[in-house]
Structure 1
Amino acid sequence: MFTGIVQGVAKVVAVRELDEFRVHVIEMPLSMRAGLEIGASVSHNGVCLTVTSIEGDNVSFDLMRETLRLTNLGAVTPGQCINIERAARFGDEIGGHSMSGHIISMADVVAIEEAPNNRRLWFSLPERLGRFVFEKGYIGVDGISLTIGDVRQTETGVEFSVNLIPETLARTTLQDRAPGDQVNIEVDPQTQVIVETVERILATQQRV
């Protein structure tokens, strides 16, 4: 489990390509990898990955076909940075919201609005995911726990905004995002369960 409170960014120092499979090697300073062991879970842009090797500052992770299909990690190249969060431990402060590290879709950055001391980003999602997006609800964007600002319907789906404070921009890769970029999206698990449960109940009642 993760909280969506990104602990920092890490540079991808190597990528090994295999058939529908990738190995990412990232540089993690001691402050971020203290106590890290092979088999541990680390969130990369919101994707839960398992540590497969530790060699000094370099930590390796395997990416399967489904991960490459559903997330933006398949487009990452050496030299780029990703958002990193270690798995939450019992007793840790939960400053964001509960996140599983299972990405449901990618979203396109469609607009950026600048204002003094903050920035608003707009993202587009396919229509099938619009039912999980609510004003003031939670959402995970590239592994960052954020509160949804405004939501608006479009001809092809739904768009939503998030407002970013300077601290979030300084600690994450969202400071570098531009229109046209793709980000990983995890909807709030509780919201997803409630919406899908209500849909099943309503569908059952309509058949009666």
Structure 2
Amino acid sequence: MFTGIVQGVATVASITDRTGLRSFRLDFPPGFAAELAIGASVAVDGVCLTVTSLEGPDAAQFDVMQQSLALTTLGTLREGSRVNVERAAKDGAEIGGHPISGHVDFQARLLSIRQPENNHVLRIGVPAPWMRYVFAKGYIAINGASLTVAEADRRAGWFEVWLIPETLRMTTFGDKVEGDALNMEIERGTQVVVDTVRDTLEERLGPLLPALEALLRERGVAVEELAGPKT
């Protein structure tokens, strides 16, 4: 498990492709890999990867299967690419963000960037099936960083996050441009609540559920919003 507090930015030093597998060597910031061991977990742009070998004091090798390459942005990395990294949480660690599994749900697209003074605002487009789990003031993990949703438009299929200078300093978000893909992991508690409400309504209403959904859409409300944001 991870906390969603990115601990540094690593660089892809080399990539080796084999049948059904891609191996990455990552160069870490000084001190990041202290006491890192083979078999340990590291979140790389939000994807939980296992250390397969250590390459000196500040580098390690990771293997990534084809399914993970297809589902995440790891398949687009090149030598020199920069990625967010976080070590697995230890017992008793402070959860500064929210619990993250490192299992990416989907890729989203960076629609636009605004830069009001001392802020950096990302508007992110989300595929319709997943937008039901995104609520204003709720949590979401983007490239391994636990962030709070500032605003969400379920009908249009986007949400925004506001990043402070410290977040930009510690992550790769300042490198991103419009059109870039991002790894997304929804907050599991929110998913459970939304799916439970939806399943309960479907069980009780049966064929009437589509009619309720249509009525709510006319009023700019989604069935999922009946659950409300998780606090």
- Smaller-chain TM-score bracket: over 0.9
The higher radius of gyration belongs to: 2
1:108 match: secondary structure:
strand
Query: How many Å separate the matches in 1 of 2:127 and 2:29?
Result: 37
Partner of 1:192: 191
1:50 aligns with 2:53: no
Q: Which amino acid aligns with 1:122?
A: R
1:71-102 Cα deviation digits (max 9, x unpaired):
00100001111000000011111100010000
Once the two structures are TM-superposed, the CA of residue 175 in structure 1 deviates from its matched residue by 0.6
Deviation at 1:195, TM superposition (A): 1.0
* Distance in 1 between residues matched to 2:121 and 2:29, nearest whole Å: 31
Deviation by residue 1:29-51 (Cα, 9 ceiling, x = unmatched): 45101111111100000000001
CA positional deviation for 1:206: 2.4
How many angstroms apart in 1 are the aligned matches of 2:205 and 2:21? 44
Q: Which amino acid aligns with 2:167?
A: T
Q: Which amino acid aligns with 1:187?
A: I
Match of 1:116 in 2: 117
1:60 aligns with 2:61: yes
**Equivalence for 1:25:** 25
Structure 2 unaligned spans of 5+ = 208-231
In structure 1, what is the equivalent of residue 210 of structure 2? none
- In structure 1, runs of 5+ residues without a counterpart are none
Per the TM alignment, residue 19 of structure 1 is displaced from its structure 2 partner at its CA by 2.5
Give the deviation of 1:28 after TM superposition. 2.1
Measure, in 1, the Cα distance between the counterparts of 2:163 and 2:206. 45
Paired letter, 1:202: L
- Coordinate RMSD, CA, aligned: 1.3
The 8 Å contact of residues 97 and 146 in structure 2, kept in 1 or not, is answered as yes
Following TM superposition, where does structure 1 have runs of at least 4 consecutive aligned residues deviating by more than 2 angstroms?
A: none
Question: Is the contact made by 2:141 and 2:184 (CA closer than 8 Å) also made in structure 1?
Answer: yes
1:96 aligned residue: 97
Query: Which moves more between the two structures, 178-187 or 49-58?
Result: 49-58
* TM-score normalised to structure 2 length: 0.86
The alpha-carbon deviation at position 149 of structure 1 amounts to 0.9
3-state SS of 2:98 partner: coil
Q: Secondary structure at the match of 1:183?
A: strand
Partner of 1:37: 37
2:49 partner SS: strand
More strand by share: 1
Local SS of the residue matching 1:160: strand
- Residues 101-149 of structure 1 deviation map (CA, whole Å, 9 limit, x = unaligned): 0000011000000111111000001100011000000000000000001
Task: Give the distance between the partners of 1:153 and 1:19, measured in 2 at CA.
Answer: 40
Counterpart-to-counterpart distance in 2, 1:20 and 1:114: 41
In structure 2, how many angstroms separate the alpha carbons of the residues matched to 1:174 and 1:9? 10
